[in-house]
Amino acid sequence: MKDRLGQSLEDYLEVIYLLSQSGKVVRVTDVAKQLKVKKPSVVAALKRLKERGLVEQERYGYIELTPEGAEIARKVFSRHSVLLKFLKDVLGVAPEVAQRDACVMEHYLSEESIERLKAFLKKSGVEL
């Protein structure tokens, strides 16, 4: 990643990644619905992501992650998954609260902290 994208753009990449994993094509409408934002917000974010070479989209076409965009999205999703597991399975945080907190935390913890958390979960027998 050239420089930090920020929470918002990372969220867009993560949602595009997750939607694309369902095997369906990803549309602006799908992303807007998932993130609970208006379509113009998605279009503006896609423009910034395209400028960074992280997504491809023909005018009014389907959205696809570039290899670099997919790599970043996978990392963000992995961080989210680790944090969600820790909050729910180790700390016993309610699922909806854990989901919301993991979404915020995933953008700010260092790689070192995430790796240590993964090791802790593994050692504790929590399946990732």
Confidence band of 3 (pLDDT split at 50, 70, 90): low
Other beta carbons within 10 angstroms of residue 7's beta carbon come to 14
Q: What three-state secondary structure class fits 122?
A: helix
Distance (Å, whole) CA 94 – CA 88: 7
Token pair for residue 78?
């992995």
- What pLDDT score was predicted for residue 51? 96
The correct CATH number of 7-71 out of 3.30.110.60, 3.40.50.2020, 1.20.1440.230, 1.10.10.10 is 1.10.10.10
Q: What fold does the segment set 76-123 form as a domain?
A: Diphtheria Toxin Repressor; domain 2 (1.10.60)
49 in Cβ contact with 1 (< 8 Å):
no
pLDDT tens for each residue of 73-82:
999 999 999 9
| Rounded average pLDDT over 55-71 | 92
pLDDT of residue 1: 39
pLDDT tens sequence across 73-120 = 999 999 999 999 999 999 999 999 999 999 999 989 999 999 999 999
Separation between Cα atoms, residue 41 and residue 35, nearest integer Å: 10
**What is the total residue count of the chain?**
128
Sketch the domain layout of the chain as residue ranges.
7-71, 76-123
CA distance 29 to 26: 8
